[in-house]
Each structure stands twice: as structure tokens, then as C-alpha cells.
């Protein structure tokens, strides 16, 4: 029997969906599902909802819940992580302080000042998790869903021998979106996608073995398609390769779209596709969820059939099945750059094709990225390298220097202004950064 430990199990939608998917595999139907969260009320809802899925499917699985992380990890084969270090009350400053300096944020959980501060708070917790894994389940595999993906994975890859990867929905989600735009069935599309998390590039995108990029170039000329992903379509039209992750995110990762109010109005505010347009979209969503999650959970339990037992498309379930000896599975994962992308730094966290079987992960050598793509990736990678080093050493000067090279921040502010902003953000995060002895850059 496999043991699966969910750290941050109170992320109810994710936990329910993944457990549903996992139990559809014959190798996993009798798994022990060990749920852990720091919020007792959310943990209770998670346990009851997972047990309901087990009962609905008449599976021989076992469900357990604990607030003791070590207990959840003991003997685990796979650990899944969906945590949030620090709640909305501190996260809001990651968004609101930069806004006072005209650094405008749409999502803010991956890169830029807000993503870096989220990493500074989260990296110590993630390192504690892998340290516990080394003690209680040293042969287990960690599947991380927590953002900021690249910085968290890089820190853990530097400090732990635990086999791990970071998983994101953007590669498969974008591939399906592009297929819809050209009228192709999803199962007839093949691609090679590589780069870094939220900024990987479809180096090849084929329909039945034939290059589909000419069809995509025609498709994005149509107003309805262009307007669905304005930022990414602009990047595609000018850089020649399509990038993963939404326009809302990507508008924050470069110099081109959010540095002036007129550009924000033109490229960022039209709320189409997964580009909500509004300032601080995710922060506002978290604020709503903070007050409504109990009502949503009660509705779920009140429904006669709250979830379909049909398997979904979440990668983690297929990966777990492969690790337990099931069918080999291919996906895009966040792994250490061991010469996989030759024009990005060795050891950096990169997102490349990976095959998984019972022996573990087998990342694919990609080679060099096109220069116009790697130029943008390289800036983000070096910012992430500085931010991770700052988190590991407690060096506030490196926090400032990382943010000084963030493309959007640098397009809006001077070095002196960036330093002032960072010092304000450090002061607000004082109690969440135990590794820092000083809070001024």
C-alpha cells in the first residue's frame, strides 16, 4: 500500500480533486491518505471530504488526519505540498507597498517584489519539510505545488537530497488553449516546451507531426483570439515562440506592459481569458476565500454527488502511479539544470520535459534556447538565484539587489527608490523572516 502525505491539506479543492484522481489507479486504490494542516477546522473538512470520496467509490483506502507533520510524513512514499506561509494579512503588503511606488501587480505570487517576499517567508518552511522528510521518509518523492515555484524548488534542491519536482498547470493548459485556437484535437498535438516556470517556451508545437506555428500565427490575428491573451500574443508576435502561463502573470515578468498607466490600460486591463486585468487579482481572491470557504465547504457536503469520480487530468496522480510501478508518464517539471538547458546557469531551477517511472525522474536534455527567449529567462533566473541566496543566508542586501534587477521594478524605479521600497517591505515582514538578523538593505 502506498502512503501519500498531503502537507497543506486544507487547500480543499486541490486535495479533493487529487485524491479522486489517485484512487482511480488500481495500484493506488488502497493507499493511505495522510492529511496534515496547521488549521484544525480546515483539516477536519479535508478529512471528511476525502473520506466521502473514498466511500462514494467504495475504495479500500485509509484516510488519516493530523496536525503533526512528522506523523504525516512517517513512511510516506509521496509527499504533496500546497502550503501558504503567512496569511493575507502579511501578503497584502507584498502587493500594496510596491503599488505605492507605482509597481503595479496583477497576481504577484511568483516573481517581482511580491514573489520574492513570498519566497523569503516560504523557503524556511519548505526546508523544514524536506529536513523532516530526510528523517521520516528519506526515499519519498516530493511533489510541490506551492508558489513561487522556481525559487522554492531551487532552495530545496540546493539543501536536500530528497527527490523532488515542482508541478504547474501552465504547460498543459496553454498547449490545450493553442490547440483550440487552431481547431486541433488535443490528442493530436505534440510539443517540446522548456525554459523556467511560468516562462517556458514551446520550442516545437506540432499537429500530427507537422509544424503548427504557421496556423497559430494566423489564429492570433483574429480579434477574438488576440484579445483573449493580449500580453502573451504580443510576446509571441514579437519573440516568435509562445510562452506558458497567463497574460496576467506574464505582464509582471518583463519590461514591456506594466511600466506606464497607458500601457496597463492597453495591454493588461482587458479582462479576457485568464487575464483578470484588475490590480491585485489573487490578493482579492484570497480575501474573498478567507470569508467564504466554510460556506463553500458546507455546500459541497450538502450536495448528493459533490464530485465526479471520473479521473481528471492532474499530473500528480499519473506521476504517483508511475513511481509505484505503473505506466511511465511524461510531463513538464521543475528540476535542477544539470546541463539540460545549455545556455542557462548550471543548477538553476528549470522547467523541462521529464519522464517518470519506478526508478524516479528522468529529465530530458533540451540544449540551447533561442537567444530572444533565453535573454528573458536569464534575467529571471539570476533574480531568483539572488533571492534564494538571500533567503538561505538572511542577507537583506541581496533582497534589495534581487529586486533591483526585477524587470518591471527596474523599468519603474531608480535604485534609491527600490532600496526604500524594499526596506519598507522588510520591516513589515520582520516576524515572518526568522533567518534575518537585520531588516535594512
**Catalytic positions, written as ranges:** 169, 253
- Identify which of 161, 83, 156 has the alpha carbon closest to the alpha carbon of residue 123: 156
Question: Helix 112-136 and helix 371-393: axis angle, to 10°?
Answer: 60
- What does DSSP assign to residue 341? B
- Identify which of 261, 159, 251 has the alpha carbon closest to the alpha carbon of residue 198: 251
314-338 core/surface letters (b: 16 or more CB in 10 A; e: else): bbbbbbbbbbbebeebebbbbbbbe
Q: Would you say 378 is a known binding-site residue?
A: no
- What does DSSP assign to residue 432? G
Report the distance separating Cα 212 and Cα 204, nearest Å.
8
Q: Would you say 198 is a known binding-site residue?
A: yes
CB atoms within 10 A of CB 51: 18
Report the distance separating Cα 19 and Cα 17, nearest Å.
6
- What does DSSP assign to residue 31? -
Report the distance separating Cα 258 and Cα 254, nearest Å.
8
Which ranges in 58-87 belong to alpha helices (H)? 69-73
Report the distance separating Cα 409 and Cα 99, nearest Å.
11
Report the distance separating Cα 106 and Cα 93, nearest Å.
14
- Identify which of 388, 380, 377, 379 has the alpha carbon closest to the alpha carbon of residue 151: 388
Report the distance separating Cα 127 and Cα 124, nearest Å.
5
Output 428-431 pairs: Cβ under 8 A, ≥24 positions apart: 428/90, 428/93, 428/97, 429/86, 429/90, 429/93, 429/117, 429/120, 429/121
Beta-strand relationship, 349-357 and 199-207 = unpaired
Output 231-237 pairs: Cβ under 8 A, ≥24 positions apart: 231/257, 231/267, 231/268, 231/275, 234/267
Q: Would you say 147 is a known binding-site residue?
A: yes
117-128 core/surface letters (b: 16 or more CB in 10 A; e: else): bbbbbbbbbbbe
Q: Which residues are annotated as a binding site for substrate?
A: 147
Binding site, annotated residues: 147, 168, 198
Which residue ranges make up the annotated binding site for Mn(2+)?
Answer: 168, 198
Amino acid at each position: 500500500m502506498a502512503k501519500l502525505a498531503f502537507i497543506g491539506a486544507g487547500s480543499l479543492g486541490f486535495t479533493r480533486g487529487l485524491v479522486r484522481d489517485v484512487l482511480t489507479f488500481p495500484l493506488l486504490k488502497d493507499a493511505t491518505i495522510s492529511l496534515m494542516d496547521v488549521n484544525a477546522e480546515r483539516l477536519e473538512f479535508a478529512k471528511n471530504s476525502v473520506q466521502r470520496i473514498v466511500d462514494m467509490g467504495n475504495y479500500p483506502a485509509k484516510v488519516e488526519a493530523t496536525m503533526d507533520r512528522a506523523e504525516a510524513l512517517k513512511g510516506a512514499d509521496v509527499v504533496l505540498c500546497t502550503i501558504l506561509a503567512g496569511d493575507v494579512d502579511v501578503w497584502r503588503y507584498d502587493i500594496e507597498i510596491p503599488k505605492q511606488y507605482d509597481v503595479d501587480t496583477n497576481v504577484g505570487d511568483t516573481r517581482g517584489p511580491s514573489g520574492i517576499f513570498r519566497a523569503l517567508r516560504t523557503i524556511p518552511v519548505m526546508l523544514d519539510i524536506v529536513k523532516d522528510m530526510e528523517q521520516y521518509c528519506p526515499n519519498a518523492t516530493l511533489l510541490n505545488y506551492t508558489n513561487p515555484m522556481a525559487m522554492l524548488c531551487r532552495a530545496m534542491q540546493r539543501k536536500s537530497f530528497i527527490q523532488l519536482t515542482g508541478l504547474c498547470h501552465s504547460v498543459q493548459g496553454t498547449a490545450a488553449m493553442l490547440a483550440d485556437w487552431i481547431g486541433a484535437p488535443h490528442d493530436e498535438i505534440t510539443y517540446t516546451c522548456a525554459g523556467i516556470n511560468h516562462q517556458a517556451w514551446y520550442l516545437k508545437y506540432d499537429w500530427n507531426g507537422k509544424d503548427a506555428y504557421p496556423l497559430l500565427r494566423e489564429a492570433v490575428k483574429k480579434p477574438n483570439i488576440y484579445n483573449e491573451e493580449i500580453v502573451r500574443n504580443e510576446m509571441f508576435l514579437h519573440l516568435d515562440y509562445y510562452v506558458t502561463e497567463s497574460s496576467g502573470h506574464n505582464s509582471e515578468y518583463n519590461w514591456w506592459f506594466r511600466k506606464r498607466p497607458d500601457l496597463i490600460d492597453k495591454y493588461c486591463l482587458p479582462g479576457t481569458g485568464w487575464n483578470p486585468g484588475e490590480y491585485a487579482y489573487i490578493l482579492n481572491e484570497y480575501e474573498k476565500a478567507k470569508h467564504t470557504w466554510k460556506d463553500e465547504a458546507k455546500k459541497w457536503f450538502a450536495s448528493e454527488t459533490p464530485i465526479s469520480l471520473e479521473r481528471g487530468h492532474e499530473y500528480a496522480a499519473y506521476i504517483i502511479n508511475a513511481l509505484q510501478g505503473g505506466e511511465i508518464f511524461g510531463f513538464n517539471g521543475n528540476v535542477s539544470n544539470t546541463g539540460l538547458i545549455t545556455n542557462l546557469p548550471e543548477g538553476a531551477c528549470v522547467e523541462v520535459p521529464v519522464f517518470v517511472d519506478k526508478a524516479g525522474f528522468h529529465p530530458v536534455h533540451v540544449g540551447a534556447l533561442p537567444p530572444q527567449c533565453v535573454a528573458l529567462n536569464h534575467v529571471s533566473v539570476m533574480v531568483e538565484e539572488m533571492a534564494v541566496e538571500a533567503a538561505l543566508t538572511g542577507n537583506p542586501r541581496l533582497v534589495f539587489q534581487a529586486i533591483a534587477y526585477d524587470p518591471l521594478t527596474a523599468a519603474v524605479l531608480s535604485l534609491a527608490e527600490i532600496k526604500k521600497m524594499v526596506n519598507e517591505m522588510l520591516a513589515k515582514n520582520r516576524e515572518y523572516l526568522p533567518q534575518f538578523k537585520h531588516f535594512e538593505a
